[in-house]
Structure 1
């Protein structure tokens, strides 16, 4: 079914988003999304999982995300729009695929502000008792109301509009960059123990420890913010120039920062803390790892600074994720995937319905839920599942809209190599996340899809109107990923052990290439809306520059 250009416009009564985001704002939006609670907890968890070889885990995670960043740099500049990650599958494969992936994208984004609020309150509980239960980490009744109020504050800040929000975020990112830098310098100068690197050797838990750390210790979670600039592409003043710099630059900067933080963790802990091995790493104040290390090193001023940062860094990330989650809700309405009510914006260009939906779902995650670490594992898996769609969309549109006939503002070189490798690596991360996480993720999507089909049958008495051609390949993709992980080695995926290491990764690579073949063959033969965008007929946006 052809999609007309009118179908993707925001109605005059609903208002329009504004083009007010510049290069620095977009770069800092992605950095702000990456520097949150992940840096406060990730290096500790990675050290426990892989020892000094955790440095390789950060490199592998950064390489994987950088491949995806190159893919999204082409897509976001060619098709700049708010909530872009929802719009991309619609452009190449139609509404049904976009509908399914919008659930994945939204559930990934909307759960980040709650986990950042939980991180803030967990640190704060050390000096403001009664916010979380000490043994379970679950919010108390008082903690729930404080958390809901904090999440409401994120929504309130978003109500001022994208220009004011990005100014606030830019200020926060300067702080969020400065504190880790100070922490690195202080610990390496005043608490450097050269012998730590030789305890149990470089890789005490082998390559499986290195790979598992990528997905489960908070490493992938720490990189997930790179797509913030992609989601805000529709509000960029000059997306051709700003998006590639913002997306790729933020990943490179974050990789450098996280490597230095991991070095500070490995060589900054007292030797006695790892006397029983890296897996049993423990010291006083470990609930706030870097603050505890600073206190033990006699750096009380740094410990105080880190406790302050434990409010600012996660808070800043929560604010920017509230922004992008609301844009995903907006995009589902704007792209015709959900009710048009979701595309409503204020006269000032704020997607107010999207903010309310984001808040409601965010509060849901505050009810008794597994620990911070459990929620982070879920977020990593569900978000990375949506990442793999980028390479599929890029290769599909390269086939149906060849570059020779339809140029791109930013052109990814060697797409037939980069995009498949990016897709394979994305699936590796889902695989490394483990069978338990994948059971929950794919089971949840199956329930959502069943409810959706029942609703469609009740409303239309038929399912023939759904664009099955573009979405059918998701079934073997999701089932295959779940099955391979379920049968994987206990030491890596927690599976049955029928597929031993490393053969599971070989199977994932071959399976991924087969899925790409099916996905490209299922793409729309005439992606009219994508062609219209490349020809310059974009969805309407107000070009209202910041002064």
Structure 2
């Protein structure tokens, strides 16, 4: 529970309230509610399978059980990229807040903070700290994480109470463009562009660490549901407090679309580098601003450490699947996938180069993670076909309906990231196909089956996602984004629903009659278990 909650409460709470309000206005509250429900639907599809197979890196391994190498590698590749980008995102958040008192860490380019050369060096050093802590073993990490999560929750509660008690303007919810100044387009866009989807995506830690829990049959469903509910309440309350507390002077110049740019005499940089701290300073709460600057080191760092370990476990799972180098499955004496940990550090540092700022990396991370989450509803229904008599410690009711809704949610969230992000993530997917082919060529002496006949449904899914995005109207200024703008909000909802139905029907139909478990059900080689609290 604490690992998942610590993953959900990271940089999203430090920047999400402002970013979501700029996109949706006061209706950002609705965005957080919708985002929580959407994440819950996806998480529930994993809860059943996660208790059946409590294996480390499960999100990368379950597609392998149902559809074989082709599907599992390409879905695992997307998921690996998504979690590998998470630790750099948290580092960038820490550095961005620190720029308020160390201005040489970042500079503003085209209205967006980006790293300087010294800032890049500090960011790489923070990534190295994450590696060291994870390398000491999950027992050591769990003790640190429990303390940090209590700290993070306490700070959020203090911020919410302080903002509500000090300044709360009810007219902010109806004036300055109204409750939803950008309509449904802004509400949906805030889920991706406001960091909401990134924040709630932390539920996956319960699945990735299922093999290291003493009681996964109880812990997995309680964790995915409980962590989302707790975090959702905190995030929604924070958004309400932020909207009511923001200085009215920040809204008068242009309403919510430019909110947060005039918090103090220091100018735009204060709001850009630390919006919540800027609000606290503008309201005369210097003590709260100081607390926020301190938490900007603690909260993202804790989440970054969690995701660093998750990335290593995803590498471990792909190595165990035998469709990636077997060296990725090597464990250290402390039970840590150390090769995957080193790889996560190297690739994570490379993310700083094309995405040298928090805002620049968010869209990519959302898309990569959501592609991998699409395997949950598909595998759930495939397992019902393949293993009907297997014990299910947690059996999901209305599985077909929830699986459809979960895949529809994935499709919609990918669509809301906009064409400018979709075509880039699909280019990365093509790289994944090339890597799969290279891995197959290098292991031609000891090949496992490609299983294309079971996994080609992902080609249909990728093609559908790309086509709908190209025909769509996200972002709102689609005439400048390269897509056609043919689909409006309503028709896009229908198109993504039809795609979900088609993909589920095809995937379940072509899935093998029996799950491709191999020796997985007998394996005892897992990273060391998380200690009992």
C-alpha distance in 1 between matches for 2:444 and 2:384: 35
Q: Normalization by structure 2: what TM-score?
A: 0.93
CA contact 1:139–1:368 (8 Å) conserved in 2? no
For residue 453 of structure 1, report the CA deviation from its aligned partner. Answer: 2.4
CA contact 2:56–2:208 (8 Å) conserved in 1? yes
Q: 2:461 aligns with which of 477, 492, 507?
A: 477
> Who is 1:3 aligned against?
none
C-alpha distance in 1 between matches for 2:387 and 2:434: 34
Q: Which runs of 5+ in 2 are unaligned?
A: 264-269
Q: Normalization by structure 1: what TM-score?
A: 0.91
Which sits farther off after the overlay, 172-181 or 362-371? 362-371
Correspondence 1:134-533 to 2 at 5 A: 134-135=108-109, 137-199=113-175, 200-275=177-252, 276-281=254-259, 282-284=261-263, 285-287=270-272, 288-369=274-355, 371-402=357-388, 405-453=389-437, 456-457=440-441, 460=444, 465-489=449-473, 492=476, 494=478, 495-529=483-517, 533=521
C-alpha distance in 2 between matches for 1:432 and 1:129: 34
Change (3 A) 1:463 1:544: closer
CA contact 1:401–1:531 (8 Å) conserved in 2? no
How many residues get paired? 516
C-alpha distance in 1 between matches for 2:318 and 2:339: 12
C-alpha distance in 2 between matches for 1:158 and 1:461: 35
Change (3 A) 1:375 1:544: closer
C-alpha distance in 1 between matches for 2:220 and 2:503: 28
Q: Secondary structure of 1:169's match?
A: helix
Q: Secondary structure of 2:489's match?
A: coil
CA contact 1:229–1:243 (8 Å) conserved in 2? yes
> Who is 2:267 aligned against?
none
Correspondence 1:31-110 to 2 at 5 A: 31-110=5-84
Change (3 A) 1:155 1:383: same
Q: Secondary structure of 1:137's match?
A: strand
CA contact 1:79–1:530 (8 Å) conserved in 2? no
| Aligned-pair Cα RMSD in Å | 2.0
C-alpha distance in 2 between matches for 1:538 and 1:63: 35
For residue 457 of structure 1, report the CA deviation from its aligned partner. Answer: 4.7
Q: Secondary structure of 1:63's match?
A: helix
CA contact 2:473–2:486 (8 Å) conserved in 1? yes
Change (3 A) 1:510 1:463: farther
Which sits farther off after the overlay, 193-202 or 148-157? 193-202
C-alpha distance in 1 between matches for 2:378 and 2:530: 34
Change (3 A) 1:102 1:94: same
Q: Secondary structure of 2:205's match?
A: helix
For residue 528 of structure 1, report the CA deviation from its aligned partner. Answer: 4.7
Q: 2:85 aligns with which of 108, 111, 120?
A: 111
Change (3 A) 1:493 1:442: farther
C-alpha distance in 2 between matches for 1:43 and 1:78: 37
C-alpha distance in 1 between matches for 2:477 and 2:316: 36
> Who is 1:13 aligned against?
none
CA contact 2:82–2:369 (8 Å) conserved in 1? yes
C-alpha distance in 2 between matches for 1:330 and 1:426: 25
Change (3 A) 1:458 1:493: farther
CA contact 1:489–1:497 (8 Å) conserved in 2? yes
For residue 186 of structure 1, report the CA deviation from its aligned partner. Answer: 0.2
Change (3 A) 1:57 1:545: closer
Q: Secondary structure of 1:134's match?
A: strand
